[in-house]
Amino acid sequence: MRTPLLLVACLCLCVEAQGALRTTGGLRKGEKRQVGMSGEGALLRRFKRGWMWNQFFLLEEYTGSDDQYVGKLHSDKDREDGTVRYVLTGEGAGSIFVIDENSGDLHATRRLDREEKAFYTLSAKAVDKFTGRDLEGPSQFTIKIHDINDNEPKFTRDPYTASVQEMADVGTFVVQVTATDADDATYGNSAKVVYSILQGQPYFSVEPETGIIRTALPNMNREVREYYQVVIQAKDMAGQMGGLSGTTTVNITLLDINNHPPRFPQGVYQFSISESSDPGSVIGMLRATDADTGRNAEMEYTIMDEQDMFQISTNHRTQEGVITLRKHLDYEKKRTFSLRVQVENVYLDPRFHSRDSFRDTATIKISVEDEDEPPTFLHPAYVMEVKEDAKIGTVIGSVRAVDPDANRVPVRYLIDWHTDMDHVFNIHPNNGSVYIARPLDREEHAWHNISVQAAEYNNKISHVPVYVRVLDVNDNAPTFDTTYEPLICENVKAGQVNQNLPQFTSCFCVFVYVCASPLYLSFGCC
């Protein structure tokens, strides 16, 4: 139990001139004789004011059962004969503070809290009980609540959240914590706070006066431990024994830096792809591992070999290397490929490593799978010629297709009848010889465009265009475009050209009119 501090009113003496009072007898201590103009001496007396006070002190959080004694108000004019009454007014008068009107004793009726109200301003006076006349005018005084250490330090936040880069130097600033104490900072050490670390050593430390938390251990690795929980205590009374304390938690996260290289989990990767795959097809994906996070773990994949059959790109969302096909494959020409792939970090931190140490390589082996392909013609198109008078069954040319697969399945040939509706041609199913099936007439069709099919037993079919040109033979006599009827005069001279006629080797007829008399002339066989 706290022992209340009993305060006695401090009586302050004040000198006032009360006027010239005539007295008899010699001067008493404090008297002065003043010589007036008349030469007669007048006595001036210096009286002390009956009572006056300035300030009382009262201990907060009083726990006694009786009213707490504050002090005593007393007037020199109080002869203690019961004729003086003391009157109290102001803040808390009559409720918090009461005065014994006879003795002037001042008490507090209840427990007070300095943090709620630090001081009270009151007035008091002394009056004559019987006449009500003021013996002493009102005087103002203050009751100041004396602080005790009844408030523990409180942190402005709980918890705190902070972060610091991994591998930071010892003493690197992390965060500053702050605790406040509601006690009186101007009185004693009740509000003087000292910080200490209860949990989080040896990784972090705290400055006792400022609450600044710093790193205390070198080379802290995020990949080993990422999160730390630090408990900080704030204790008043300058940290001395008996002081009150409060705590807060500081959650500290180590921020990643790029101090780990990417690495392939294995040295060799195996993939396969069908030879019938189109360019752009995905062959496979591989991923290197990196203990870092975020942008520090971003990678770039490249193919080191000088080739243009494959390419690799980086999926920036998953950080995987995606291998794709760039050109058509041929199992019969090349069945396996071997690639050397490199991975490296995109963003490097020169403080910790050189660029060469942050690369890794792996071997990629790609197997080409055989696909049952249709027959392949030796030429993309064929052109054949035949005279129009050639006999039925005459071979005009041949096509050839082979199975590109390793087992070389035999091929049979046939004509796509949609391209030869009249069945003018036919083909030998075993050797691909094309022959005439119907008579040809160049004057009707000078060109025939047909499609020849090559098929395997499993119905794998391919097509090739065949263009047949029909060559002309002299199987048609010449004919005139029109009937000619030239006119000559009867007196025409011999050898005179009248009209040129086309030269033909066939028979023709010319009708000649001599003036108005027709003369029929026959040339050749009309």
Q: What are the DSSP E strand ranges found in 38-96?
A: 41-48, 55-59, 68-72, 84-90
- Phi first, then psi, for residue 134 (nearest 5°) are -70, 125
Q: Could you give the CA distance from residue 352 to residue 446 in angstroms, rounded to a whole number?
A: 82
DSSP state of 499: -
Q: Could you give the CA distance from residue 509 to residue 496 in angstroms, rounded to a whole number?
A: 20
Q: Are 247 and 232 in contact (CB under 8 A)?
A: yes
- Residues of the chain under the 50 pLDDT cut: 1-52, 504-511, 513-526
Q: Considering only CA atoms, which of 120, 144, 7 is closest in space to residue 73?
A: 7
% of the chain exceeding 90 in pLDDT: 49
Q: Could you give the CA distance from residue 430 to residue 211 in angstroms, rounded to a whole number?
A: 98
pTM of the model: 0.53
Q: Residue 53 to residues 102, 126, 230, 276: CA-CA distances in angstroms?
A: 18, 13, 53, 111
* pLDDT attached to residue 515: 46
* pLDDT attached to residue 111: 85
Residues 6+ apart with CB under 8 A from 47: 15, 16, 18
End-to-end distance of the chain based on CA atoms, in angstroms? 162
